[in-house]
Structure 1
Amino acid sequence: MPGPPACGRGAAQSTAASEEEIDTSQHRSDEGLGRSRGGLTCKIHLAGEGGCRPLALLVTPGQWGDSPQLIPVLERIRVKRPGGGRPRTRPDHLGGDKAYSSRRNRRYLRGRQIKRTIPEPRDQRANRRRRGSRGGRPVGFDKELYKRRNEVERTINRLKHSRVVATRYDKRAYVFHGTVTVASTRLWLKP
């Protein structure tokens, strides 16, 4: 059996201290925080309308992937029609980066008849070619439309001009979601 630690604490004190460290590194599911390369962080997933204005957003823990969040973000889109009636829930066109390329997302977009410009990653392209005729058709890709994808990055940059969004002072995810929503509203109100 090993002796007491070199720092002078007994074995009981040492295990209690390590349990406290474990408890502080854990996070609750309603906080929207998760481990990522930069430490405890969160992600803002959003759909923008093209003029650096967000239409729908979602806050997730930092380690969650981008691809599974595409469908929940698109299902949050509600654009009121000027003449009344049901709100629009389907964008005319969707542009995304390689992180959103998956069979599930493409099937969903095809089912809702949403035009899309999402590049196919090299590994998915090689896998499709390897499967031959069973791999499916190559995805359509328009380089000119893909140049507009940076508008989402610019929208997130504008949201982070608000210091409270950039540093996330809020502990709970729903409070931070409200903070980001207020910052989004400010973007819509600016001329």
Structure 2
Amino acid sequence: MLRRRGIGAVIAEPDDQAGHRRRRGSRGGRPPAFDSVDYRGRNVVERRFCHLKQWRGLATRYDKLAVVYRAAVVLNAVIAWTRRLSDASCPDDDRTTQ
């Protein structure tokens, strides 16, 4: 179904699955396409989700309302963004704030 829609695989095919496909010969089908650039982007997204889940309220979903949950996600993103900005060097002077 994904191939019909033109969606390629982002995760590399496991070695054992590739072995099974080769063993089956022509009946094994073709290997799924793999895009290494998309795979690197997927890694960044997965690491960000893991970071989000470090907040107990986000991981356990205690909030009843979706708007409150979304506000917590946005707050977490803003905090991470400001930390990233504070770790970057200041363009006006040559020092790094920590």
| Structure whose CA Rg is larger | 1
CA distance in 1, matches of 2:61, 2:4: 39
Conservation of the 8 A alpha-carbon contact between 1:159 and 1:180: no
- Spell out structure 1 runs of 4+ moving beyond 6 A: none
Conservation of the 8 A alpha-carbon contact between 1:162 and 1:183: no
Q: Which has the higher contact order (CA 8 A, sep 6+)?
A: 1
RMSD: 3.2
Conservation of the 8 A alpha-carbon contact between 1:165 and 1:180: yes
CA distance in 2, matches of 1:148, 1:157: 15
Q: Which runs of 5+ in 2 are unaligned?
A: 82-98
Counterpart position of 1:78: none
Give the drift of 1:150.
1.3
Q: 1:138 to 1:114 in 2, by over 3 A?
A: closer
Equivalent positions of 1:94-113 (< 5 A) are: 108-113=1-6
Conservation of the 8 A alpha-carbon contact between 1:119 and 1:141: yes
Q: 1:159 to 1:113 in 2, by over 3 A?
A: same
Give the drift of 1:145.
3.2
Q: Aligned to 1:125, which of 3, 10, 18? A: 18
Counterpart position of 1:144: 37
Answer 1 or 2: which has greater strand percent: 1
Q: Aligned to 1:183, which of 72, 83, 98? A: 72
| CA-to-aligned-CA distance 1:108-156 (integer Å, 9 cap, x gap) | 3223222332211122111111110010112222333322221222221
Q: 1:159 to 1:189 in 2, by over 3 A?
A: closer
Return the TM-score normalized by structure 2.
0.55
| CA-to-aligned-CA distance 1:167-190 (integer Å, 9 cap, x gap) | x263xxx94x94654434x16974
Return the TM-score normalized by structure 1.
0.32
Q: 1:189 to 1:127 in 2, by over 3 A?
A: closer
Conservation of the 8 A alpha-carbon contact between 2:22 and 2:28: yes
Q: 1:183 to 1:110 in 2, by over 3 A?
A: farther
Counterpart position of 1:160: 53
| Alignment: residue pair count | 78
Conservation of the 8 A alpha-carbon contact between 2:20 and 2:28: yes
